[in-house]
Amino acid sequence: MEKPNYRKHVISVLVENQPGALARIIELFSSRGYNIESLNVGHTEDPTISRITMVAKGDEHTIEQIVKQLRRIIDVFKVRDLTDKKKLDRELLIVRLNVDSTEKKEEVKRLVDIFGAQIVDVSHDTYTVELTGDEEQIDAFLELIKPLGVREMARTGRVAMVRALQGDTFGGEK
């Protein structure tokens, strides 16, 4: 049974772009028994710094511990829990669908249209669709499209950024 206030948190981390930095973060989750749902790493405006966006599940105490433990890592610059901030929050989905009939092709095109997705690759009997959106949009799209026959799918973890109204994501101290 899930505890009350046990929920998904979006945590954004700036780290030195160093070998070992990512390993340290991942090991922190395994060694302390935290649950990590997704993790995304990429460059930032500064090539020596990487940005990690992770989604972790836990109650407030666990998440507070995760944030504090992340801050202890020498290579970590800044850590922010973005969960309750106004933010942009995106995932990317690539999904290959079986479309062995005209009806299915039409149905896929219709859903692609509605969700603002794109068909990016086509074969005789498959369409490959790309969709960017927040978690809910992607889940909704998948739900509708699954009955048509998903052959293969890949999905990124989240990337997130605080909205300009709220200032920069990483203002202030570590």
Please report, as ranges, the residues that interact with another protein according to CB under 8 A: 15-16, 19-20, 23-24, 27, 31, 61, 64-65, 68-69, 71-72, 74-77, 174
Whole-angstrom Cα distance, residue 82 to residue 170? 10
For another protein, give the closer residue by CB, 72 or 163.
Answer: 72
For another protein, give the closer residue by CB, 66 or 112.
Answer: 66
User: DSSP labels for 76-131?
Assistant: EEEEEE-TTS-EEEEEEEEEEEE--SHHHHHHHHHHHHHHT-EEEEE-SSEEEEEE
Whole-angstrom Cα distance, residue 61 to residue 38? 20
Question: How many Cβ atoms are within 10 Å of 15's Cβ, its own excluded?
Answer: 23
CB of 87 to another protein, least distance (A): 23
CB of 51 to another protein, least distance (A): 13
CB of 48 to another protein, least distance (A): 9
Sign of torsion over alpha carbons 52, 53, 57, 60: positive
CB of 49 to another protein, least distance (A): 9
For another protein, give the closer residue by CB, 76 or 131.
Answer: 76
Whole-angstrom Cα distance, residue 171 to residue 92? 27
For another protein, give the closer residue by CB, 52 or 76.
Answer: 76
| Class of residue 114 by CB neighbours under 10 A (exposed 0-12, middle 13-18, buried 19+) | exposed
For another protein, give the closer residue by CB, 64 or 139.
Answer: 64
